[in-house]
Amino acid sequence: MHDLDGVLLFVNRAAASALGYEPHEGIGKKLSLFLAPSMRPLFEMYLERIRSQTTDSGLMRVITKHGQERVWAYHNIRYEEPGQAPYVLGHAQDVTEQVQREEELEQIRDELENRVAQGTAELQRAQERFVKAFHASPDATIILNGMDGRYIDVNPGFQRLTGYSRDEVVGYTSRKFKLWVNRQERKAVIRLFREQGAVYDFEVRWWTKSGTIREVLLSVERIELDGVLCALSIAHDVTERRELERELIEISERERQRIGYDLHDTLGQQLAGIAFFSKVLAQRLATHHAAEATQAAQIVAFVNQAIEQARTLAGGLAPVTLETYGLVFALQELAASVEALFHCTCKVSSHHAIHITDHAVAMHLYRIVQEAVNNAIKHGKAQQITITLSAWQGGMTLMVRDNGVGFPTDVAARRGMGLRIMHHRARMIGAILEVQHGAPGGTCVICSLSNPTLVSVNQMPASA
């Protein structure tokens, strides 16, 4: 976390440890001091962007305490809260190896194309290099038949990741050994591959032979081997990274809840005390027909308004209703708050009383809806918003539809809509998030969660 001049205000242990520092070593220092020399001239441009827009994302190169250069993907959000100076809260993850792998993959592809043009002899050498890279790659690498999806070959990295040997999978499709946790993810990869000819860093979950789940980034490209159209798939295991990211999100969520509780319990009580004494003072002044009685009554009214605003802020930061009464009631409370604050129509529709058994999952779903509603108002200028919950066998679907202007045409504006965080929250709970153009207009955000252990449905309808 840093201020608008780039001075660090807080550094969590994970970020500090990744660079070889203790958290306190960064406090009070310019963030630019930890950037690679090539990035420092761009730091002022970043500060100008974060001052003019609420979010900023991209890649930055940082230097560890021991002088090693690493590449981090960051997503920073500027917060402006009443009573305190604006600050920027950032989340980052180390993507050094991923960038290197992408460069290596691009280099291998270019080499293959050049060798094909040089004739049979050169093609043979390129194939030999490919075989070496295929078997030496630390990532799980698969060659599939482009027509029926049958496995032609897998490298040792595939066996290390999944536990399946080459003999167990070659000649079969992934359905034979039930590799995919969510079949919808498999269908999505196949659809994108057919439409675009390639898929890059599509996050999926795979079952291992031992019954554990691994989260991987899957990239698929078309290749031709011996005149046969094939697909080259590379799966990079990000299970441990996602666990760290979940911890970061949980820390952020706990901090939001702490601030919400402080607003409600501490500031709220103090304001209530001020309101009480101000009301007593106003009554005494009125009894003595003092000229200041009217002003004292106005102070009472202003303090009461501040109390209501504090309660609204606290409810957004730490929705107590979610934990006490469940997701449907919390969304109804959110809708009522949106209608009161923004003077628009916001309704919740649910044909069943849907209960999410895991509070953390419910919180992620709530935050996804909250972000979608904020986007509808801030970016879409919507006057009507509908939040719909529907249950089906083994899961549920959350849909937020509005009648706004739809997607911004400016890519930079779309980056400020929190779409990445929404997608990230969906991935963390094993859900699939889609953002579509509404019919006849506006935007439709759809989050589908397929997990019967997390979704409990009561056949009694829950009124909106």
- Count Cβ neighbours within 10 Å for each residue of 237-265 and write b for 16 or more, e otherwise: bbeebbeebbeebeeebeebbeebeebbe
Q: Are residues 340 and 228 in the same domain?
A: no
Q: In whole angstroms, what is the distance from residue 19 CA to residue 21 CA?
A: 6
Query: Which range (5-14, 84-93, 202-211, 401-410) has the least confidence?
Result: 401-410
- Whether 351 and 450 map to the same domain: the answer is yes
Token readout for 287 is 């009894």
pLDDT at 319: 67
| Phi, psi angles (nearest 5°) of residue 131 | -60, -45
SS3 at position 269: helix
Confidence category of residue 460, pLDDT binned at 50, 70, 90: very low
pLDDT of residue 76: 94
Query: 329 and 464 share a domain?
Result: yes
Domain residue limits at 287: 240-318
Within 10 Å of residue 319's Cβ, how many Cβ atoms?
Answer: 26
Per-residue pLDDT averaged across 156-185, rounded?
A: 91
For residue 339, being part of any structural domain is answered with yes
Same domain flag for 203 and 83: no
Q: How many domains are there within the chain?
A: 4
pLDDT tens digits, one per residue of 253-274: 677 666 766 665 666 667 677 7
Report which residue type is found at 253: E
pLDDT of residue 446: 93
Q: Is the pLDDT of residue 415 over 60?
A: no
The token pair that represents 127 in the structure block: 């194939």
How does the average pLDDT of the chain come out, rounded?
84
User: Is 269 in the same domain as 206?
Assistant: no
Do residues 304 and 390 both lie within one domain?
Answer: no
Do residue 204 and residue 250 come from a single domain?
A: no
Q: Is residue 386, in this structure, part of any structural domain at all?
A: yes
Q: Are residues 388 and 454 in the same domain?
A: yes
124: in domain: no
Kindly state whether residue 126 falls inside one of the protein's structural domains. Answer: no
Q: Which residues partner with 348 through β-bridges? A: 387
> Predicted confidence band at 278 (pLDDT cuts at 50, 70, 90)?
confident
Given this model, what pLDDT does residue 167 score? Answer: 93
Task: Give the CATH number, domain containing residue 434.
Answer: 3.30.565.10
Per-residue pLDDT, averaged over 309-327, amounts to 66
Q: Which residue has the higher pLDDT, 169 or 131?
A: 169
Domain final residue, candidates 220, 237, 254:
237
Nearest to 342 by CA among 389, 375, 304, 366: 375
How much is the pLDDT for 461? 46
Q: Do 331 and 312 share a structural domain?
A: no
Say yes or no: 29 and 154 in one domain. no
What pLDDT was estimated at residue 120? 62
Whole-number pLDDT of residue 268: 62
343: left (phi over 0), alpha (psi -120 to 50) or beta: left
Domain limit, last residue, from 237, 263, 283: 237
Q: Which residues of 370-404 are buried (b: 16+ CB within 10 A; e: fewer)?
A: bbbbbbbbebbebbebbbbbbbeeebbbbbbbbbb
**pLDDT (tens digit per residue) in 165-175:** 999 999 999 88
Residues 147 and 226 in one domain: yes
- Determine, yes or no, domain membership for 389: yes
Q: What is the CATH number of the domain that holds 33?
A: 3.30.450.20
Q: Which residues of 131-169 are buried (b: 16+ CB within 10 A; e: fewer)?
A: eebbeebebbbbbbbbeeeebbbbbbbbbebbebeeebb
Does 301 or 55 have the greater pLDDT score? Answer: 55
